[in-house]
């Protein structure tokens, strides 16, 4: 299958959803050599992935991801925290312009959403990189991430927020991890990682790394069964809603996708330089998140409010961005967002103690 698919893609021809799903299944199951897999995903990138191809690849991945089972509706907060070019935190845009590395905005956003009454699951990979993604920061917030799937299910039910992390060398990605590391460029793996959706949520907020992907990925989510979704690209912050410039948004509602551009000034915020929301190492980023949840004012709070509002729109669809900002601000100022962080720390500490006693 891989040879036929590779030849077809190299000749500039698109694969059907079924062809793509079968090809990616072979890759995930280790039936394809690293050289073949690398050649295929590289050729696919330069042809440019179609909606059919992304859907097929996402289905192959989702079929191999361990699910978490929850009765309540969830918002899937999906961000590609890995630097698409070098498997670290996003730093460089497609044009090659180096940007400022932000603090972990989506991690702070998750607690604000939980404090607003929205159950949230955040999933991603633990990276062995020198940079600091969500897993590193959560550990500096004293959150134990070494939980079983049933633990995570109970965690979300009890606290309203859960984080599910795997290493990039485990699960269906274990056969492609060496390929990704060696070729070091953006590939379809970066597009489908956030679509794994282990909680099988039908509400999503997804950040992407270039403007042209917002409409495409909203169409993909629609095909994959999402009922509500918001796909964002911030011109200065990449896969976050930006307070440093315009943000392209594609919104899925009632089976239709509408695209628009928003600016911070529309919602009463001042456009700031990216350095105003810069982060640091994991300890510093954890400190920033605590300050935001403590109610400290400034651009870091503002960018969290914008992202939380967008997520609330994705989750509820019956509210505006302005209403979402007000709800998010109340979650912080009332102390509810901070209580969710404390609840998660306490819950995961209890699970850790239980595991130690069992051993």
pLDDT in tens, 207-249: 998 899 999 999 999 999 999 999 999 987 678 899 999 999 9
Class in CATH terms, 75-342: alpha beta
Copy the structure tokens of residue 60. Answer: 């192959």
Q: Domain extents for the chain?
A: 2-62, 75-342
pLDDT in tens, 286-315: 999 999 999 999 999 999 999 999 999 988
Within 8 A by CB and 6+ apart from 214, the residues are: 208, 231, 232, 233, 248, 249, 250, 259
Query: Which of 52-81 are b and which e, b meaning 16 or more Cβ less than 10 Å from the residue's Cβ?
Result: bbbbbbbbbbbeebeebebeeebbbbbbbb
Give the position of tokens 């640091």: 280
Return the pLDDT at 169: 45
pTM of the model: 0.86
With cut-offs at 50, 70 and 90, classify the pLDDT of residue 43. Answer: very high
Measured between alpha carbons, how far is residue 137 from residues 106, 283, 287, 330 in Å? 11, 7, 9, 24
Is pLDDT larger for residue 286 or for residue 316?
286
* Rounded Cα distance, 208 and 189, in Å: 13
With cut-offs at 50, 70 and 90, classify the pLDDT of residue 201. Answer: confident
Whether the predicted pLDDT of 159 surpasses 50: yes
pLDDT in tens, 8-27: 999 999 999 999 999 999 99
* Rounded Cα distance, 345 and 341, in Å: 6
CATH number of 2-62: 1.20.970.10
Contact 32, 26 (CB under 8 A): yes
Residues 307-332, mean pLDDT to the nearest whole number = 93
Whether the predicted pLDDT of 99 surpasses 60: no
């Amino acid at each position: 299958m891989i040879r036929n698919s590779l030849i077809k893609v190299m000749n500039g021809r698109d694969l059907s959803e079924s062809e793509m799903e079968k090809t990616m299944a072979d890759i995930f199951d280790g039936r394809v050599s690293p050289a073949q897999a690398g050649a295929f995903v590289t050729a696919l990138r330069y042809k440019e992935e179609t909606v059919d191809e992304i859907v097929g690849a996402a289905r192959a991945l989702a079929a191999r991801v361990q699910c978490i089972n929850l009765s309540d509706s969830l918002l899937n907060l999906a961000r590609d925290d890995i630097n698409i070019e070098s498997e670290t935190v996003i730093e460089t845009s497609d044009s090659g312009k180096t940007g400022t590395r932000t603090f972990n905005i989506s991690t702070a956003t998750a607690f604000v959403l939980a404090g607003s009454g929205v159950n949230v699951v955040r999933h991603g990979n633990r990276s062995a990189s020198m940079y600091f993604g969500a897993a590193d920061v959560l550990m500096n917030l004293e959150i134990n991430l070494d939980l079983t799937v049933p633990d995570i299910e109970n965690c979300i039910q009890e606290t309203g927020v859960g984080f599910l992390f795997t290493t990039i060398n485990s699960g269906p990605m274990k056969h492609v991890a060496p390929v990704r590391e060696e070729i070091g460029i953006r590939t379809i793996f970066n597009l489908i990682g956030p679509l794994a959706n282990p909680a099988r949520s039908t509400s999503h907020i997804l950040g992407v790394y270039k403007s042209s992907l917002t409409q495409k990925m909203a169409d993909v989510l629609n095909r994959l069964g999402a009922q509500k979704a918001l796909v964002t690209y911030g011109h200065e912050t990449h896969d976050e809603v930006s307070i440093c410039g315009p943000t392209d948004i594609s919104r899925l509602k009632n089976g239709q996708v509408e695209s628009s551009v928003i600016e911070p000034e529309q919602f009463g915020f001042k456009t700031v330089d990216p350095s105003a929301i810069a982060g640091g190492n994991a300890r510093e980023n954890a400190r920033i998140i605590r300050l935001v949840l403590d109610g400290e004012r400034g651009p870091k709070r503002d960018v969290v409010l914008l992202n939380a509002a967008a997520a609330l729109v994705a989750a509820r669809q019956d509210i505006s961005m302005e209403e979402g900002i007000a709800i998010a601000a109340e979650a912080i100022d009332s102390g509810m967002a901070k209580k969710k962080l404390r609840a998660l720390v306490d819950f995961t500490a209890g699970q850790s103690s239980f595991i130690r006693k069992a051993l």
